[in-house]
Structure 1
Amino acid sequence: MPYEALPLSTRVPVLSWANHDLGPEESRMARNVAQLPFVFKHVALMPDVHLGKGALVGSVIATKDALIPAAVGVDIGCGMAALQTPYSANQLEGKLKRIRLDIEAAIPVGFQENKEVAKDAQNWQQWDDFKQLHAGVQDQYKKASRQMGSLGGGNHFLEVCLDSEDKVWLMLHSGSRGIGNLLAQCHINSAKNLARLAGSSLPDPDLAYFVKNTPEFAAYWHDLCWAQDYARRNREVMMARFKKIIEKQLAGGKPFKPKLLVNCHHNYAEEESHYGESVFVTRKGAVRARETDYGIIPGSMGAKSFIVKGKGNAESYCSCSHGAGRLLSRTKAKNTFSLDDLIQQTAGVECRKDEGIIDEIPGAYKPIEQVMANQADLVEIVATLKQVICVKG
């Protein structure tokens, strides 16, 4: 689907790949961002766009010499990892529940953390930079160390999937855990305080920003890059444990080399070149999709997911969606669906089936097939996956 330029009368255009009109609150958010003086060329909205804080989830914002901490969000570096195994569906027969229980025993979920710091977490070189992080997180070193290799809650998950050829894939979704959240909050508050002191007239307080070549910008950029690296390493640590469980259950512990391995952020900022200029690109619920990039676009816990390769679409700032996108808020989902609905919508998936995850029911998300159809000009599909095991945060 080609993009549509939205009729919002803003300083820079807003290009949308969604197949629906924005609601009043969504339009207001898009307009607020597109009016900011440092936003570059245009704002790009992905097919899964929906309400966020300050900026829409599913928005790609290129900026000149400025960054908006709340637009990056509080789960800095949240993203996906997936790998293709050499195993086939028939090797999973009779083992699904055992594998799920092994995953839940090996990888802490929700508010849990590792009892001890894992060896592969201890060896991470960026721990040396911890003392240079914001003063507000300096008491969090032990917790951040124990949380590396843990999933978190909400929409984070680990899944065993099958592709269209019945090959087994491993997939997970997680970010920078408590340390990323706390760093984000520290810098969002700092940006808001600066805006108040400067008397800035922002359309939304959550669009407070830092300007390049200031101490505040330098501090945020340092901490942002650190948290993004933490998130990527966190996914690597979990995936290594996940892989060992599958090797134990399907191959007697014999290790395998992944046929394809993907690890990508979808809540982050990066310095890139677009339209011949150096800009900061904030992807708030979006994945980088250059021609050389592989990405992961998951559906809900009862729907298909997709491994994709980017097409390098310039108008999207070489980006694509990060998932199906929510159709209902968590509260509305809980009020709309019952436990019976959850059981019905996750039929055939080995997973928890209790009221604690009704807010993650497939019916709370947009149809992933429609989202994929809307971005045929952004990515090509490499593999189509369907989960057979799902462990939620």
Structure 2
Amino acid sequence: MKIEQQHDHDILHAGQGAPIKLWTHGVPVEDDARQQLINTAQMPFIYKHLAVMPDVHLGKGSTIGSVIPTRGAIIPAAVGVDIGCGMMAARTTLTAADLPDNLHGLRTAIEKAVPHGRNMTRGKRDQGSWGRPPELVDAYWKALLPGFNRITEKAPRLKNTNNHNHLGTLGTGNHFIEVCLDEAERVWIMLHSGSRGVGNAIGRHYIELAQADMRQHIANLPDRDLAYFEEGSQHFDDYVEAVGWAQDYARKNREVMMQHVIAATRTVIEKPFQADVEAVNCHHNYVQRETHFGHKVLVTRKGAVSAQKGQLGIIPGSMGARSYIVRGKGNPESFCSCSHGAGRTMSRNAAKKRFSIEDQIRATEGVECRKDASVIDEIPMAYKDIDAVMAAQDALVEVVHTLKQVVCVKG
């Protein structure tokens, strides 16, 4: 293994695989994540090199914080099961002075407006889905339904998913809704979610299918989660169609939530305001066709955001740290990409064992949010330093706005 140092990134050469370019100066890269990157780089259809973002850490299927360009094949587990997961942010015409002194009422209104979390009590509705979807959800689902019908004709098992009832809902884990203030004390609404239960089912279905298709060759792969579909095969086309639909669902899911959060905010703040002053809606777990170095390729961003020249993106910190609205610099070596957040430094279980509720209270001081045992796995100390992550990708993006949350609703 050989590491070649450049002024803004390093290049890792390992065996016969493609080079791995890492924008990780000043941030830790765990050994397991590095090995996972090396495994992916061995695949014969990797185009040019892998690009690795500063929030890199071990993932399921492939490394989170990696950009995987391919020609002639696609790896379903690299995209993963939270297909289309991403961020949306909208600046409002409100300022900090327009917010109530006590923000608990605003958090409660948002929590009522958007189903979040998950409880699978037998015989009762999951709190994270709609009992009866509102009209806005029905309208958005109507637009998604023709594509869903085409997908389920080929994969009937996907009909038995929580699809319509999950549209416009938050989910669990690191998904969140926040009210933030920028550097000029202007109010932003920001949220993070993906394609929910139906996207998870699509991801799992095609990961299993890829592994089944390759069952005679899977032992020769560096990792069974690198099972792939070759372009030109039926399953390749079916997956591309399904993943594209799930990404559309995820984008619409965020749009519905944003409208409901804005409406909820208007029930608490009487002053009239607009909330589409500066809006960004971007995926960070997805695959799409793009042109790089003169060739059309499939680019899988696993925990990475598109940062084409002039393109706006969102890089959130943890629930106690700053977040950033950024503008891409269009760096070709990163396949015009940047990080999708701070990146975890420890697993959820490790965070729960290491930190206490008192630690969580101290770390989220000044933020109106839940401060109980169920959110300790999201404690800021379980994440990398967002400022170090931003410094490491100075060649990829420029900061447009710096946000600090004052309200946080966690899934």
Residue 366 of structure 2: aligned partner? 348
1:122 aligns with 2:138: yes
Deviation, 1:337, is 0.4
Q: In 1, Cα distance between the equivalents of 2:43 and 2:218?
A: 15
Matches within 5 A, 1:260-279: 260-279=278-297
Q: Does 1:357 align with 2:364?
A: no
User: Mean alpha-carbon deviation: is it higher for 127-136 or for 63-72?
Assistant: 127-136
Q: How many residues align?
A: 390
> What CA distance in whole angstroms lies between the structure 2 residues aligned with 1:23 and 1:342?
25
344-353 or 121-130: bigger deviation: 121-130
Matched-pair contact (CA < 8 Å) for 1:136–1:183: no
CA distance in 2: counterparts of 1:301 and 1:69, whole angstroms:
30
Which whole-Å CA distance do the structure 1 matches of 2:31 and 2:342 have between them?
21
- In 1, Cα distance between equivalents of 2:28 and 2:405: 31
Instruction: Give SS of 1:307's match.
Output: strand
Task: Judge which range, 264-273 or 197-206, deviates more.
Answer: 197-206
Write the letter of the residue equivalent to 2:156: A
Task: Specify the alignment match of 2:23 in structure 1.
Answer: 17
TM-score (norm 2): 0.92
Query: Which residue number corresponds to residue 255 of structure 2?
Result: 236
- Residues 318 and 379 in structure 2, CA contact (< 8 A), matched pair in contact too: yes
**Structure 2 alignment gaps of length 5 or more:** 1-6, 119-127
Aligned to 1:168: 187
- Is the contact between residue 285 and residue 301 of structure 2 (CA under 8 Å) also seen in structure 1? yes
- C-alpha spacing 1:22/1:345, structure 2 compared with 1 (3 Å): closer
Distance (Å, rounded) in 2 between the aligned partners of 1:213 and 1:4? 35
Matches within 5 A, 1:138-217: 138-140=159-161, 143-198=162-217, 201-217=220-236
Mark the CA change 1:14 to 1:249 in structure 2 (over 3 Å): closer, same or farther: same
Q: Counterpart amino acid of 2:159?
A: Q
Partner Cα distance (2:193, 2:226) in 1: 25
Counterparts of 1:188 and 1:246, CA distance in 2 = 40
SS of 2:62's partner is coil
Compared CA separation, residues 262 and 319, structure 1 to 2 (3 A)? same
Structure 2 residue 153 is the aligned partner of structure 1 residue 137: no
8 Å CA contact 1:76, 1:227 repeated in 2: yes
Q: Please state how far the C-alpha of 1:24 moved relative to its aligned partner.
A: 2.9
Cα separation, 2, equivalents of 1:257 and 1:16: 37
Whole-Å separation in 2 of the counterparts to 1:228 and 1:80? 12
Q: Distance in 1 between matches of 2:42 and 2:315?
A: 30
Question: 1:26 offset after TM fit, Å?
Answer: 1.7
Give the C-alpha shift of residue 249 in structure 1. 2.2
Instruction: Give the drift of 1:123.
Output: 1.8
The partner residue of 2:77 within 70, 75, 84 is: 70
State which drifts further: 87-96 or 196-205.
196-205
Q: Report the CA distance between 1:244 and its aligned residue.
A: 1.3
Q: Which moved more, 1:90-99 or 1:20-29?
A: 20-29
2:111 matched to which residue of 1? 104
Could you report, residue by residue, the CA deviation over 1:343-388 in whole angstroms, capped at 9, with x for unpaired residues? Answer: 0000000000100000000000000000000011100101000000
Residue 60 of structure 1: aligned partner? 67
Letter in 2 for 1:8: A
1:70–1:188 CA contact under 8 A, matched in 2: yes
Identity %: 48
Note the C-alpha offset of 1:256. 1.6
Post-superposition offset of 1:191: 0.2
Q: Counterpart in 2 of 1:83?
A: 90
Cα separation, 2, equivalents of 1:345 and 1:81: 24
Contact 1:118 1:149 in 2 (8 A): no
Match of 2:337 in 1: 319
AA in 2 matched with 1:391? V
Structure 1 range deviating more: 26-35 or 1-10:
1-10
Partner of residue 384, structure 1: 402
TM-score by structure 1 length? 0.97
Q: For the aligned residues, what is the CA RMSD?
A: 1.3
For residues 254-333 of structure 1, the aligned pairs below 5 Å read 254=272, 256-333=274-351
Deviations 1:196-228 (A, max 9, x none): 045661110000001111100011001000000
Letter in 1 for 2:38: R
Question: Partners in 1 of 2:243 and 2:218 — Cα distance?
Answer: 26
One-letter identity of the residue aligned with 1:246? T
Distance (Å, rounded) in 1 between the aligned partners of 2:218 and 2:196:
33
2:109–2:268 Cα contact (<8 Å) kept: no
1:369 maps to which residue? 387
Moved more, 353-362 or 195-204: 195-204
